[in-house]
Amino acid sequence: MEKSVNRSGKTVRIWAVAALLAGLTSSAALIAYHSFASVGEAVWRIGWGLVLIVAVHLTAVVSCGIAWRALFRSGWTADTKLLIILRWVRESVNTLLPVVRIGGDIIGVRLLVTRGTDINLASASVVADRTVEVLSQFLFAVAGVFLFVERDSGNDFLYPVILGLCAIAAVLLIFLAAQRWGLLRAVEKAVQKLAGKCGVDCSNGGMSVHETVWEMYGDYRRLAAATLLHTFGWVLGVVQIWVALYFMGRETGWAEAFIVESLSQVICTAAFIMPAALGAQEAAYMVIGGLFGIPAEIGLALSLVKRLGDVFAGIPGLLVWQGFEGRLLWELSRSR
């Protein structure tokens, strides 16, 4: 059994590295085709505007952290400041490491438990938070499609975008159905196994992961608040696009920036298997930006600037994660 698990883990790591290399290669090929010099010049023009982009990114992280907190009802242990920091860690790990966008969530659960939160509650909150995030992205993308149709711009591109929207909706429905009919019980078994190894209590007032998640979904006021906060986080991505284009000398209206960001995120989500949507994000900004007269090299530079913002905001997040881990090791060594 242990050999089988190790073999599976090795296979996942090989696929993750292969996906990373494929993404890097495709990104480099796109930039090379449209000239490294032209793309680099456009990135260079952003200047100190990168500080604004990083600030907006961190504001979105704060909004998503508060959205996570909104799912906790009174009586459930959850410190808002801690959840914001752990949201930052989750985002940093999922963005900068080849973990197929779930490694950060697992780390978030682990760190939340080490800070005193019941493991069932921690696991349920991350599952619910991720589900609400996908829902808010779907709403954000739908708004972008409506703007796109209203402007009658590049309707030849509308068909694949609608397919992408349908894919997101299908994933959301399948994810909810799986949560309702068995996925959460499988998660609960894994959680109990982990808790037994770590000597952690899984009480949560007698509530299972399954019951906790669906209680969160049943509190419509908190659910709506979390959805709005996550949606605000997506809209802040539009601000990043507008700021980047402004500093590159390509002043664009808010509606165009909204369409470019929302539809690009649909494509990036569809390419979830690629670490950080490498290659897919570059192609998305290049193609969708081109519908509004944005040159290909500017679209590619836009993607690189967004990635620079992710890196400058994410590296400190990774350091914070390591700080948590170091503190935990120190506490364990002192208790022996």
Mean pLDDT of 152-171: 71
Interval 86-138: pLDDT, tens? 999 999 998 888 766 778 898 998 899 888 888 889 989 999 999 999 899 98
Which pLDDT belongs to residue 146?
A: 86
| Positive/negative CA dihedral, 62, 64, 68, 71 | positive
Other CB atoms within 10 A of residue 202 CB: 20
Choose among 95, 56, 79: nearest CA to 274: 95
Choose among 201, 137, 208: nearest CA to 179: 208
Choose between 171 and 129: higher pLDDT: 129
Chain centroid, CA 271 distance in Å: 12
Which pLDDT belongs to residue 330?
A: 85
**Residue 275 backbone zone (phi > 0: left; psi -120 to 50: alpha; other: beta):** beta
Query: 280 near 267, Cβ under 8 Å?
Result: yes
Mean pLDDT of 191-216: 66
Which pLDDT belongs to residue 231?
A: 96
Other CB atoms within 10 A of residue 115 CB: 17
Which pLDDT belongs to residue 55?
A: 96
Q: CA 57, CA 67: separation in Å to the nearest integer?
A: 15
Q: Give the domain range for residue 189.
A: 2-335
Mean pLDDT of 2-27: 58
Per the prediction, the chain carries an average pLDDT of: 82
Interval 173-198: pLDDT, tens? 887 887 777 667 766 666 666 555 45
Which pLDDT belongs to residue 8?
A: 45
Which pLDDT belongs to residue 309?
A: 92
What Rg do the C-alpha atoms of the chain give, in angstroms? 21
Which pLDDT belongs to residue 261?
A: 94
Whole-prediction pTM: 0.86
3-state secondary structure of 295: coil
Chain centroid, CA 304 distance in Å: 17
Interval 294-324: pLDDT, tens? 999 999 999 999 999 999 999 999 999 999 9
Q: How far, in Å, are 32, 275, 276, 288 from residue 22 at the CA level?
A: 15, 10, 12, 22
Interval 222-247: pLDDT, tens? 999 999 999 999 999 999 999 999 99
The pLDDT-based confidence of 266 (bands split at 50, 70, 90) is confident
**Percent of the chain at pLDDT above 90?**
36
pLDDT > 60? residue 3: no
The domain total for the chain is: 1
pLDDT > 80? residue 73: yes
Q: Side chain identity at 29, as an amino acid letter?
A: A
